[in-house]
Amino acid sequence: MRVAIACDHGGFPLKASVIEAVRSLGHEVVDFGVDSEERVDYPDFAEKAGRALQRGEVERAILICASGIGVNIAANKMRGVYAGVCHDTYSAHQGVEHDNMNALCLGGRIIGPELAKEIVRAFLNAKFLGEDRYQRRFEKVQALEKEAQRS
């Protein structure tokens, strides 16, 4: 699987651990930055990873800012990007299995590197269950998304 990684300066300290976890599972990392703790605007980097998801260049994305919230808000403004802030393993796998989440958002100032690795593993090892109820609910989310595009 190809996995986009993007962060701002607040997420940069956690980025290396996330990349290590992705690679340890045999996945390819597509790095959209940043490469330092120099201040940048998180929406710019959430957008880079989100566009890669939209174009089908990656199957999943992991976005990191100080809290995870900023990149989550930005990513969820993009059609076809289904992002969730997860600071525990249950949310990370359940978000994929039940909600078809394709972008994991992490808070670099909220969790440490070892927990981040476990969360990344839970996220990347999960598959959308696609059972009737989950598919039906996901289609309702997509309908809301289409309505938002029209208004």
Residues 75, 50: contact at Cβ < 8 Å?
yes
Domain ranges within the chain, ordered by starting residue:
2-149
pLDDT at 68: 98
pLDDT at 20: 98
pLDDT at 142: 94
Place of tokens 């939209």: 54
Segments of the chain with pLDDT less than 70: none
The CATH-assigned architecture of domain 2-149 is 3-Layer(aba) Sandwich (3.40)
- How much is the pTM? 0.97
Q: How many Å apart are CA 119 and CA 112, to the nearest integer?
A: 11
Q: Which residues are catalytic?
A: 65, 98
Phi-psi region of 129 (alpha: psi -120 to 50; beta: other; left: phi over 0): alpha
pLDDT tens, 47-86?
999 999 999 999 999 999 999 999 999 999 999 999 999 9
pLDDT at 80: 97
